[in-house]
Amino acid sequence: MLIEWIEALALGMVQGVTEFLPVSSDGHLLITQQFFAWLTGTHRGGEENLFFDVMLHLGTMAAILYHYRGPIRLGVRGLLTDDPDVGPDFRRPTVLRVAMLAIVATLPLVPFALFFKKWVDSLFQSHTAAPVGFLISAVFLALVSLKMRGPDGRGRGPSETTWVDALLIGLAQTLAPLPGVSRSGVTIVAALFLGLSRVWAVRFSLMIAIPAIAGAVANELKDAIKDPSRLNLTPDRVMQTIAAMILAGLVGYAAILWLIRVVRSGKLWYCSVYLVLLAVVVLGLVSSSGNGSDVDASPNALDGTSRRVDAGASPATGPVAPGGPVDRADAPLP
């Protein structure tokens, strides 16, 4: 159906734009999926949406790797050789140190994933969770914007970043699985508050996104191989997923360039204003439709009227049991 292609490409575009800008990709994907559920009167199963979202994140991860292909190449060269031409930031001791900093920043996500994932998943059933998360992100961005007033100071670079800095950034990242809270937003804000340079704050934030996304993709592919029927992967759906993933990567690459420009210029407050306005609009829509909390029959419809269509179910069979909330792919998975 044409509407399914429009939905897939729209989600790819939304993922590409919002994954790197500090406005929360999961919140925007959730709202977009709710809109199409309301528009069409049907909603895909939670597991099918999760697989689709994870594939979109694979596209944006490719955008990170492509954008930083130069530094990655120099880092590998400096790690494997003693070439003096790679520069001090890409010699073996610095490369190993940066890798360890990324590991330290990722570690706080592990206990969060093990003990709080079910609770976080349940939040995706609520229509108010995403806009509340938008407001939380907006507050963080507004606070750091006040700190960033004036020209860009030097800040600290990779060689001056401490283990405590990495740990605190990692602790901030534990807020990222919450719907509407931006992973890039909270990590960049934490890095800037700690005194890291603007360019290094962005680079480190994107760097620690790679293991989280890669882990989510690997976990979901493993489950898909074990039980592909649960994903309802028809030939059309596979083609839609591939097209959306490519679009997410292309748009995501442009969004990285935009993110670097926004952070360098100290204009993160633009994103803060946008998130406040978006939260007000979404909360207004939720209030007017009377859906302020969980919706039993169809938890992802804007007006509560859509029917969930899971793998193996047909529209004629009526509503079936919820298959689980839409999850975020850059959240840590156990």
Mean pLDDT of 35-60: 77
pLDDT at 204: 94
pLDDT at 315: 40
Tokens found for residue 15: 């993922």
Residue 313 has pLDDT above 50, yes or no: no
Asked if residues 247 and 16 have their Cβ atoms less than 8 Å apart, the reply is: yes
Judge whether 319 lies within some domain.
no
pLDDT at 256: 94
Judge whether 334 lies within some domain.
no
Judge whether 323 lies within some domain.
no
Q: How many domains does one find in the chain?
A: 1
Question: pLDDT grade, residue 181 (50/70/90)?
Answer: confident
**Calpha distance 308→300 (Å, rounded):** 9
Question: pLDDT grade, residue 327 (50/70/90)?
Answer: very low
Judge whether 253 lies within some domain.
yes
Judge whether 331 lies within some domain.
no
Judge whether 326 lies within some domain.
no
Residue type, 94: T
Mean pLDDT of 305-309: 36
Judge whether 60 lies within some domain.
yes
Share of the chain above pLDDT 70, in %: 76
Concatenating the DSSP letter of every residue in 149-215 gives -SSPP--B-GGG--HHHHHHHHHHHTTTTSTT--HHHHHHHHHHHTTB-HHHHHHHHHHHHHHHHHH
Mean pLDDT of 72-97: 86
pLDDT at 308: 38
Residue 168 has pLDDT above 50, yes or no: yes
Tokens found for residue 125: 């059933």
Judge whether 311 lies within some domain.
no
Q: Which domain holds residue 246?
A: 2-298
Q: What is the pLDDT of residues 262-274, one digit of tens each?
A: 888 888 889 999 9
Residue 112 has pLDDT above 90, yes or no: no
Mean pLDDT of 138-146: 89
